[in-house]
Structure 1
């Protein structure tokens, strides 16, 4: 089927993938302005940060339930429900003027993203064979990275006009609906052929990898801004430039995933990923100026461009068709639990060794993981 899959289906799935990155970073530039606008609310600086964390928590909690829904009711009904909730919850800050109502809208956004991620991942598994998946997910990784650049730039520009304007970007998926409705189709029901316990045993290593990889990688958006502002005395705009530069390398690397997968195993790609990630973190740990940070962006972008695509591809190679919904929900939950846990796990290290000390320590962890995977491969080979 993957050879004959039409372009409209592929474009539809790519558009859905960009909604995931849209959900998180679009309103980042508005957070300081939201704090100023609602300054009469106690602890508003802390509460405004919940604009980013509440969707992640909701996704982590709701994604397994969303997966069960996708397996029971099909892929498309949850998908379209997710899009409507995405528009309503995401755009709440554009037309609502009560802070807590907007916060509730962010929780609705989390439910929406959980439905979108589980249903779209299941559809990719249904529509493509393994070789076709690798090729498509190369393009998907590039689309997500480019989408991240577009949305963080557009959000920053609109925030300069008014804090509420970036929330209007969440209305954009309404324009996707005609193409999605005319292109996507409900796959046929799948027969249960494998033992449930055997399936779970095969998938838990993927879930654990997704969780720990996100704990490590999510230290960049959560810790790097403080390094740039507090330690290196950079401007807020510098944060966007550094992240956007890394995303360019992310996009280029993701696009090459299918070729890499043709030469290397999933484990070997993880080994390469952690080498690049470790080098990038080491450069950051030694940086004494903003300019030196940009030397790390190539390594970090390559690492991040590989980790997500490789994990999703590895996951779909292991999960049987009838479990794709529920298992996709567990995978999404693993990713977002990693995001939520990352700053909590690393805060004690920062208090003792500082932010650059944290980057140095995690650099050593990443390179140790890569060495362990290399030795594991040699042991199994012999």
Structure 2
């Protein structure tokens, strides 16, 4: 069973930082933008897309089916990374991402073909997401790795804001125009070959004794699923809640919800400094507590200022959750099993997103859904804090200090 050295991690040596050029760093951040983009890029134009296609089911499936694709193909992505290296898998994933994403606009005759295309699109996302994080783990060490993971979280949120805005603008031009945004993955794939060095391969990973996830990696997978399932309830319930209580338009709702991403970007930038005082592992229960208070604040809001406070709390929690689970999985995985475990982490993150779509079954009232989610999140935060103290030896808490 693999475990990282239980010592305080020192700043990365100069050699680790020279292993990848600035262009390579920017390429990996560009890749991170596409993970959120996969389902959400067509969300602003979803009504017109459904109307044109005469969509027979809930239009929301077009957004959530890629998440299911990540869940299905995530384990395969990890095995491919271990056998063929992160750069090769990342290139293939981005090439397929651009092709399958653009082809969605061509499957207008059969909704089944479109669903199949969106499912495979999720598979390509699993390749890109796991391979991108694997390459970060290969080329950055110590404090520099945490800073890069924090920048990755910022890039994810920037991508969400930019691509949602672009998708809405293109959707006003034509129902199929948002699908063209997926083609941006092609130049990104070219940058992968031009700017990133060949990565390590571990063809014997299948016989590694650490192949089965240990208790600590399973703990991280559960954390990722739980955090994402709770966080994304706001994305499904809040638009209806704001429209019913405040009469907000789609554009105003979009502007308000963009605040989550803006706050997350700002907080993620401060994550390395926060880690100087707080162990990374403690941020996950804290994120759950923030999600709980944020959902309860939104459920009780009767003015816009209260909504802003609730959204800001969600943004802070998200900034803690994703970078921390990425960093934890890297630190808890041997090099030979890193790709596989990061593939499983992609599964956990998108499984949480997919499960959030069922939160509406608890109540037909969006405010009740937000309230129940908030109470559940508070309970989970308290329980998770107690469980973490028993599972993670205090000596294994990861502190990273600046020199």
Q: 1:88 aligns with which of 63, 81, 99?
A: 99
Change (3 A) 1:377 1:124: closer
Secondary structure of the corresponding residue to residue 215 of structure 2 = helix
| TM-score, scaled relative to structure 1 | 0.90
1:256 matched to 2:270? The reply is yes
Q: d(CA) in 2 for partners of 1:329 and 1:164?
A: 31
The residue number in structure 2 matching 1:347 is 360
Distance verdict in 2 for CA 1:50–1:199, change over 3 Å: closer
Report the secondary structure of 2:363's partner residue: helix
> Aligned equivalents of 1:377 and 1:179: distance in 2?
40
- Pick closer, same or farther for the CA change 1:165–1:377 going to 2, 3 Å: closer
Report SS of the residue matched to 2:275. Answer: helix
Per-residue deviation, 1:216: 0.8
Q: Where in structure 2 are there 5+ consecutive unaligned residues?
A: 1-14, 395-403
**Helix, strand or coil at the partner of 2:122:** helix
1:19 matches 2:34: yes
How many Å separate the matches in 1 of 2:82 and 2:235? 33
Among 4, 17, 36, the alignment partner of 1:3 is 17
2:309 pairs with 1:295: yes
Matched, 1:129 2:129: no
Distance in 1 of aligned mates of 2:147 and 2:349? 22
Equivalent in 38, 50, 71 of residue 35 of structure 1:
50
Matches within 5 A, 1:40-119: 43-44=56-57, 46=58, 48-95=59-106, 97-100=108-111, 101-119=113-131
Q: What value does the CA root-mean-square deviation take over the aligned residues? A: 2.3
Q: 1:170 aligns with which of 170, 182, 200?
A: 182
Structure 1 residue matching 2:235: 3-state secondary structure? helix
* Aligned equivalent of 2:249: 235
Q: Is the alpha carbon distance of 1:93 and 1:132 closer, same or farther for their aligned partners in structure 2, counting shifts above 3 Å?
A: same
Q: What whole-Å deviation, never above 9, does each CA across 1:200-248 have from its counterpart, x for those lacking one?
A: 3331111111111111111011211221223443211122112211110
Question: 101-110 or 155-164: which moved more?
Answer: 101-110
Matched, 1:309 2:327: no
Change (3 A) 1:201 1:326: same
Pairing 1:175-190 to 2, within 5 Å after superposition: 175-189=187-201
Q: TM-score, normalised by structure 2?
A: 0.86
Going from structure 1 to structure 2, the CA distance change for 1:53 and 1:199 (only over 3 Å counts) comes to closer
| 1:288-343 CA-partner distances (Å, limit 9, x unpaired) | 24453222121111111111111111111101110011111111111111111123
Paired positions, count? 374
Contact preservation (8 Å) 1:70, 1:325 = yes
Deviation at 1:106, TM superposition (A): 1.6
Aligned-partner Cα distance in 2 for 1:377–1:66: 29
* Structure 1 residue 123, shift from structure 2 partner: 1.3
Q: 1:201 to 1:103 in 2, by over 3 A?
A: same
CA distance in 2, matches of 1:152, 1:258: 28
